[in-house]
Amino acid sequence: MATAPEHVEEQSEVKRYKIQYPISAYTFPREALIHQVHIDAEYLHVELTDGRKLSVPLWWIPTLYNAPAEEREKYELDRSRTTIIWDPDKCAINDEVRIADYLGSDPISRNDSARESS
């Protein structure tokens, strides 16, 4: 003989916590501008004007990874301070590193990548 399952209603207490800081007290950077660049044997280190620091493994960027250290140092920043450029007229590297590509999700970059793979 089958019996209907018994419905038990659980009651839980909702805890409320005091908000220590308003949302306006937090910093949410809107742009990434390059302040300083340093390249060592393993990483491209980028310090941004808002205080963030980013280290990108050189093996992610084959042109830098395979280039001599003295050539890696021959970079320039673009006018907007968002891209690191190695000019082939001034060094043995021909590449550009757009820093936003290494900071996370960017719909424009994702759309470009989707087009390239199709």
* DSSP summary character for residue 58: G
Average pLDDT (10-33) is 85
Q: So what's the pLDDT on residue 107?
A: 53
Q: What domains, with CATH codes, occur in the chain?
A: 31-117 (3.30.2020.40)
**Does 96 score more than 80 pLDDT?**
yes
pLDDT (tens digit, 9 = 90+) per residue, 33-92? 999 999 999 999 999 999 999 999 999 999 999 999 999 999 999 999 999 999 999 999
Q: So what's the pLDDT on residue 110?
A: 47
Q: b vs e for 74-109, b when ≥16 Cβ sit within 10 Å of the residue's Cβ?
A: ebebeeeebbbebeeeebebebebebebbeeeeeee
Residue 16, classified by CB atoms within 10 Å of its CB into exposed (0-12), middle (13-18) or buried (19+), is exposed
Residue 11, classified by CB atoms within 10 Å of its CB into exposed (0-12), middle (13-18) or buried (19+), is exposed
